[in-house]
């Protein structure tokens, strides 16, 4: 009976949609072709694109042009194999904001599968780490400057 209680206690689809809308991290879901099918309010805040702008577009919307080939090669492999290492490991990459400025994002992904275990999409949970990345870059530059000073200065 405890198992039945767990099933009954699972959130309904409406509750799940509310959770996706409420979380502070961006949640982006893309289908096997890379078309965006879910774009939550945090994705709007981070990337500047509204859901109306993003839904139906490919992930090129937020992928810098110089990284697209690598992105799509990896995406195709994940779709083909159903395996990704970025479910447990955080991937840090550049991204593009609607106004054109570069972002630094960190994300994990999860495979979405149908009842027959076929991959039907990918969900990414994304955090904007641009400020942290800028600060770390500034600190690395400062350390390099200090290390370049003659001893005793």
Tell me the mean pLDDT in the region 73-90: 87
Confidence of residue 84 (pLDDT cuts 50, 70, 90): confident
pLDDT of 10: 60
Other CB atoms within a 10 A radius of the CB of residue 153 amount to 6
In this prediction the pTM is 0.78
pLDDT interval class at 104 (50, 70, 90): very high
Which tops the pLDDT comparison, 6 or 107?
107
- Is 70 exceeded by the pLDDT of residue 52? yes
| Contact present, 103 and 46 (Cβ < 8 Å) | yes
Q: Where are the domains of the chain?
A: 2-148
Is residue 20 very low, low, confident or very high in pLDDT (cuts 50, 70, 90)? confident
Q: Which helix (H) or strand (E) holds 123?
A: strand 119-128
Q: How confident is the model at residue 127 (pLDDT cuts 50, 70, 90)?
A: very high
pLDDT band at 76 (very low <50, low <70, confident <90, very high): very high
* Distance set, CA 133 to CA 54, 90, 107, 138 (Å): 25, 15, 14, 9
Burial status of residue 31 (CB atoms within 10 A of its CB: 0-12, 13-18, 19 or more): middle
What CATH superfamily is the domain 2-148? Answer: PAS domain (3.30.450.20)
- Examine the pLDDT at 6 and tell me if it is beyond 70: no
Residue 1 has a pLDDT of 47
């Amino acid at each position: 009976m405890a198992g039945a209680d767990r099933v009954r206690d699972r959130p309904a689809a409406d509750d799940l949609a509310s959770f996706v809308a409420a979380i502070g991290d961006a949640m982006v879901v893309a289908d096997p072709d890379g078309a965006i099918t879910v774009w939550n309010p945090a994705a709007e805040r981070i990337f500047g694109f509204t859901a109306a702008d993003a839904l139906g577009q490919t992930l090129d919307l937020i992928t810098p042009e110089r990284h697209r080939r690598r992105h799509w090669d990896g995406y195709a492999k994940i779709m083909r194999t159903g395996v990704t290492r970025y479910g447990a490991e955080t991937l840090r990459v550049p991204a593009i904001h609607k106004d054109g400025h570069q972002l630094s994002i960190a994300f994990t992904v999860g495979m979405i599968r149908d009842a027959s275990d076929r991959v039907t999409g990918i969900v990414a949970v994304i955090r904007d780490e641009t400020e942290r990345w800028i600060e770390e870059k500034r600190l690395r530059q400062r350390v390099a400057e200090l290390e370049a000073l003659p001893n005793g200065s």
